């Protein structure tokens, strides 16, 4: 039962991995902490 | 006076020679000893005169399964006919043994120990001479591990028994386990009996004998032969390896298929005069939804450069911001040469950027961009904007998400086994 649930989990994770690669989803710390105080951004938004 | 109970064949009644109270033998002539329910004297029922084996001043006390209680376990209807309370050699560790009887199936035991239950039957097995002295023991194709070697002492008896039992009877006992089974070798010399216990969930006992859940003893700790619900996670590890291999194969495919299209680039010397100055690339086209990576490089040496980027969608004016730094320091100390950082960095500015026309704004700051810096007041800095680059970070996240379950179950299994073996006098095993 638990292994069947894990099998489904593996399938979902692999699908998410494939989807993220096809549509260019990435996760890294820079994106996670996108800096709203970016000087260029501030200047642009002014 | 002895009477045969006509209503229930095999059942035999007589009067206690000590107190005169009526005693009924549920297993009839198969019982060799009985404890009087009125005065607790133990009587030899094999003797025609019902000789008293031991007198007792203890009053009969209630037990969870009372004598005469019937219940169906594993497809057979059993009647509780005897009870013994036992303890180990230290006297600290107590357990209950109920004797069950069925006229067609014979005798079985139900052993209750700290809320854990075992259904025990005798094994007719020729024992090799080394039995009880080795660390593993083979029986019926199963490998049992030595768990405990101790003695048990009878503290209290109630009901009837097919052997001669009395208080303070002490016997050597060796337990071998192969969850959910326990093989117990009792006795010494020629007088050795082997029994096989099977772990039974308390709920099964409760249902079989119609007991109230409030009366059931609370399960404490891990029993020596309790099966682990985390056992068999080898399959999960097998699935993990397979899924990780698949993820790796997919990553290699995506690495090959990724466009890695260069959209813009620039490189120039930045000076003090460029401080707070924003530059812009010409507009470029993102053909389809994809991630965008910026490869920044700067000729720094024991210094730093920081670049603030803003990717702007020309049509919607939606922006994506990123602040990145390039730092490279090196030197020598008492441990020798050291260095940290580098002269370039690669960062995704945005994830899943929609197709469209964009331009990039950037502003550079650096330790070199000072008005007085040892004669050098500029730094060569540049970047490349690249679309659709396969992410190693996604592969790492995939790996971690796949790893979570088998790792968790293995840790729980390890903790379970550690609790089990902490009660063994064989030390920690697995």
Residue among B414, B290, B300, B399 at smallest CA distance from B353: B290
Residues of A in contact with B363 (CB under 8 A): 39-40, 43
Residues of A in contact with B348 (CB under 8 A): 26, 28, 30-31
* DSSP letter string, B341-375: E-SEEEEEEEEEEPSEEEEEEEEEEETT-SS-STT
Number of H helices, E strands in chain B: 3, 26
Strands (E), B162-260: 170-178, 181-188, 191-200
Q: Among partner residues B235, B347, B390, which is closest to A30 by beta-carbon distance? A: B347
CB contact under 8 A, A20 and B290: no
Cis before A41 (ω within 30) = no
CB contact under 8 A, A40 and B278: yes
Quick one: how far is CA A45 from the chain centroid? 26
Q: What pTM was estimated for this model as a whole?
A: 0.70
Give dist(CA B98, CA B33) in Å, integer. 15
CA B175, B177, B180, B184 dihedral sign is negative
**CB of A10 less than 8 A from some CB of B:** yes
CB contact under 8 A, B352 and A40: no
In chain A, which residue's Cα lies nearest the Cα of B345? A30
Cα→Cα distances B317→B235, B271, B424, Å: 51, 30, 70
Which DSSP category does A29 fall into? Answer: H
Contact B84, B69 (CB under 8 A): no
pLDDT by residue, tens only, chain B of 430 residues: 444 444 455 677 888 887 877 788 888 778 888 888 778 788 888 777 778 777 776 677 899 999 999 999 999 999 999 999 999 988 888 999 999 999 999 999 999 999 999 999 998 877 666 666 778 888 888 899 999 889 999 999 898 898 888 788 888 999 999 999 999 988 866 678 889 999 999 999 999 999 999 999 999 999 999 998 777 677 889 999 999 999 999 999 999 999 999 999 999 999 888 988 999 999 999 999 999 999 999 999 999 999 999 999 999 999 999 999 999 999 998 889 999 999 999 999 888 999 999 999 999 999 888 776 555 578 999 999 999 999 888 999 999 999 999 999 899 889 999 999 988 877 655 4
Query: Cβ neighbours of residue B128 under 8 Å, at least 6 residues apart?
Result: none
Residue among B57, B73, B53 at smallest CA distance from B65: B73
Residues of A in contact with B349 (CB under 8 A): 30-31
CB contact under 8 A, B323 and A35: yes
Contact B222, B214 (CB under 8 A): no
Contact B55, B130 (CB under 8 A): no
CA distance B41 to chain A (A): 53
b/e map B312-332, b = 16+ CB within 10 Å:
bbeeeeebbbbbbbbbbeeee
pLDDT tens track for A1-46: 778 889 999 999 999 999 999 988 987 656 655 554 445 545 544 4
């Amino acid at each position: 039962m638990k292994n069947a649930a894990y099998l489904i989990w593996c399938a979902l994770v692999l699908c998410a991995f494939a989807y993220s690669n096809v549509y260019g989803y990435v996760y890294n710390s820079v994106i996670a902490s996108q800096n709203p105080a970016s000087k260029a951004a501030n200047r642009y938004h002014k | 006076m002895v009477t045969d109970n006509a209503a229930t064949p095999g059942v035999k009644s007589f009067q206690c020679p000590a107190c005169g109270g009526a005693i009924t033998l549920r297993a009839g002539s198969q019982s060799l000893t009985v404890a009087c329910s009125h005065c607790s004297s133990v009587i030899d029922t094999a003797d025609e005169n019902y000789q008293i084996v031991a007198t007792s001043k203890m009053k009969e006390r209630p037990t969870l399964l009372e004598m005469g209680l019937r219940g169906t376990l594993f497809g057979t209807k059993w009647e509780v006919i005897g009870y013994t309370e036992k303890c180990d050699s230290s006297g600290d560790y107590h357990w209950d043994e109920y004797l069950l009887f069925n006229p067609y199936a014979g005798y079985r035991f139900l052993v209750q120990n700290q809320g854990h239950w075992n259904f025990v039957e005798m094994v007719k097995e020729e024992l090799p001479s080394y039995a009880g002295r080795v660390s593993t023991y083979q029986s019926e194709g199963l490998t049992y591990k030595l768990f405990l070697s101790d003695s048990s002492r009878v503290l209290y008896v109630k009901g009837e028994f097919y052997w001669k039992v009395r208080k303070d009877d002490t016997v050597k006992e060796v337990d071998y386990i192969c969850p959910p089974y326990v093989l117990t070798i009792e006795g010494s010399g020629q007088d050795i009996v082997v029994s096989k216990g099977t772990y039974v969930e308390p709920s099964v006992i409760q249902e079989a004998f119609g007991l109230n859940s409030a009366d059931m003893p609370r399960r404490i700790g891990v029993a020596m032969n309790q099966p682990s619900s985390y056992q068999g996670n080898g399959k999960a590890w097998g699935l993990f390896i397979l899924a990780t291999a698949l993820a790796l194969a997919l990553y290699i495919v995506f690495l090959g298929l990724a466009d890695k299209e260069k959209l813009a680039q620039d490189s120039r010397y930045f000076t003090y005069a460029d401080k707070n100055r924003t530059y812009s690339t010409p507009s470029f086209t993102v053909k389809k939804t994809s991630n965008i990576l910026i490869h920044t490089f700067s000729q720094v040496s024991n210094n730093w450069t920081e670049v603030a980027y803003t990717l702007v969608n020309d049509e919607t004016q939606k922006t994506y911001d990123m602040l990145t730094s390039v730092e490279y320091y090196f030197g020598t100390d008492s441990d020798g040469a050291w260095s940290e950082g580098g002269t370039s960095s690669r960062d995704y500015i945005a994830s899943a950027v929609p197709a469209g026309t964009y331009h990039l704004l950037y502003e550079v700051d650096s330790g070199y961009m000072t008005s007085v810096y040892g004669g050098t007041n500029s730094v060569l800095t540049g970047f490349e904007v690249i679309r659709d680059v396969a992410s190693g970070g996604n592969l790492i996240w995939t790996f971690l998400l796949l790893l979570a379950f088998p790792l968790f179950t293995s840790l729980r299994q390890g903790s379970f086994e550690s609790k089990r073996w902490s009660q063994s006098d064989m030390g920690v095993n697995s």
